[in-house]
Amino acid sequence: MIAKKMYIGGAWTDAASGKTFETLNPSTNEPFGTVPLAGSEDIDKAVAAARAAFPVWSSKTQAERSAVLNRISAAIRENAEEFAMLGAKEHGMPAKLGFGPTMGASGNFEMAATYARATGGDFIHSSKPNVLYCLDRVPIGVCALIIPWNLPLFLMSQKIALSISTGNTCVVKPPSVNSVIGLRLAEVIDGVEGLPKGVVNVITGPGSSVGHALAAHPGVDCVGFTGSTETGVSIMEAAAPTLKKVVMELGGKNPAIIFPDANLDQALESLGHHQFFNCGQACGSPGRYYVHESVFDAFLEKLLACAKHQIVGDPTLPETTMGPMVSVEHANKVMSYIESGVSEGAKLVYGGRRALDKGNFIEPTIFTDVTPSMKIYREEIFGPVAVLLKWKDEDAVIDLANDNTYGLTASIWTTNIARALKLGRRLTVGTFSVNGHNLIAPEAPWGGVRQSGIGKEGGWQGVLEYTEQKMITINLDEE
């Protein structure tokens, strides 16, 4: 079993209480790693370390900071195979698929290093003849970064890169179930030349205690969080008394609208991948399929073929395409959604059962005859469960797509690009794609509206989220 320590002020440390907790291998639910269980003393120590490092790091030139980020990017690439296998064993993503998000983690640092070099201020023309106005971009201070468990390395690297690129320091709480992955990234970062001690601190423990305490801590200036909408509300409540800035990417129930003229093979190549990739444990996964009645049967046939093609099994094996759900608790939650779909009258056309004799494996699952009143239609399942509805009226399907509390992403599938763009403007989402699903990369901003979040992650806009605007006024009178 792997044993790790927390990373505070550039040093490796146990919890002040001496307490630890275990992470599990989701394929077997057997112990995988042991990590410290942080308490209030550890949180205070990590925030203090970040606060002490802030003047040093923020006073560096942007060129110096970007050079450090590029070295972190290179170090992640050098350890990519190890990270992919670690993700298979502690998270459950097949190693051959985990290599992509690992390289994306490297790309996050590279992107932030590049965009931060271009981040500057503005000159404002004044109505006063002898006054000069300048609007600068400055770092916020200490950022608490609370990471979700579904893509731990990628999202941890994204938040660290965006926050420290412009001079902030941070305290990072990796997801409890993936804590070994988070602390291994800390080890890689620690080995990079030029990063002052305390710029990045990594502490481990439950979100309900450590995450909440970080959000409420008076020494923290900004909170970056990705996770469920319910937890996001709790984080905002904790941050509210000190009026911290929050950057949040939350849940989604994402519509995919299939028109009669859509290229179904192209659609299924993308949608099928996103539906079952990482067992559907992704905020941007297709949540609701609206398929025109004239092509519904053909689309369903191709989606069934995609589901049957999935190989559920040991994520360390090269043939596996779907590993286990991340935990017993989450597997049980997904199964409860499947059971509710059946009990509410949806037609289970494929899957819907546990797979294998041990671990948290669930079959790829497809429902039809779904209605908007059903739980599987309205709520985010976060699992390998596809929910299909027929439609025939263009205006009605847009209204259905918008009839949800979320607003993360959507896709429209048609050869009529003008129609897609016109209808896409009517979708209440942060991102919509035409003939593709989540066509994003590190340089592309990502984030939702409504209960899907606040602000953007990724790209230049993501870098700006971790800065404040400072107004500078200069009196040019010589007298």
Cite the active site residues: 249, 283
H/E segment holding residue 196: none
Burial bucket for residue 7 (CB in 10 Å: 0-12, 13-18, 19+) = buried
For 118, list phi and psi in degrees, rounded to 5.
Answer: -100, 0
Kindly state the tokens that stand for 294: 């004239």
Distances (CA, A) of 200 to 18, 339, 373, 384, 416: 22, 43, 46, 35, 48
CA distance 407 to 447: 9
Distance between terminal CA atoms of the chain? 73
CA distance 24 to 447: 30
Q: Which residue has the tokens 């404002």?
A: 124
Kindly state the tokens that stand for 93: 């993503």
Closest CA to 355 of 307, 392, 284, 416: 307
3-class secondary structure, 69:
helix
Rg (CA), the chain: 23
CA distance 390 to 290: 6
Instruction: Look at strands 409-413 and 431-434 and give their pairing.
Output: parallel
Kindly state the tokens that stand for 118: 């271009």
DSSP state of 411: E
Instruction: Look at strands 385-391 and 365-368 and give their pairing.
Output: parallel
Burial bucket for residue 396 (CB in 10 Å: 0-12, 13-18, 19+) = exposed
